[in-house]
């Protein structure tokens, strides 16, 4: 998920996206602990996506979000 795509979402959509990603991460970790999957790349990608969403949410809360497009 690209940061530009995430920046276009509203606060409600961002919170919903964060919840969905957290649920996916939980399921993948559970499967990994059960030995059903060994997908570390997916886990790493989900963690980065969650961090991206949280960062953009915080930027919006602080009012430092830039809407300039090049």
Quote the longest CA-to-CA distance of the chain.
Answer: 46
Tokens of 5: 């795509």
pLDDT at res. 19: 96
User: pTM value?
Assistant: 0.80
Are the C-beta atoms of residues 43 and 32 closer than 8 Å to each other? yes
CATH of domain 3-62: 1.10.287.310
CA distance 10 to 15: 9
pLDDT at res. 53: 94
pLDDT at res. 70: 45
Nearest residue to 39 (alpha-carbon basis) of 48, 49, 47, 31: 31
pLDDT at res. 9: 86
- Domain residue spans of the chain: 3-62
pLDDT in tens, the chain (70 residues): 777 888 888 889 999 999 999 999 999 999 888 888 778 889 999 999 999 999 999 988 888 865 554 4
């Amino acid at each position: 998920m690209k940061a530009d795509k995430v920046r276009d979402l509203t606060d409600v959509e961002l919170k919903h996206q964060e919840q969905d990603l957290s649920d996916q991460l939980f399921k993948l970790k559970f499967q990994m602990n059960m030995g059903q999957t060994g997908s570390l790349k997916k886990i790493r990608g989900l963690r980065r996506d969650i961090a991206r969403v949280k960062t953009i949410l915080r930027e919006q809360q602080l009012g430092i979000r830039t809407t300039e497009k090049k």
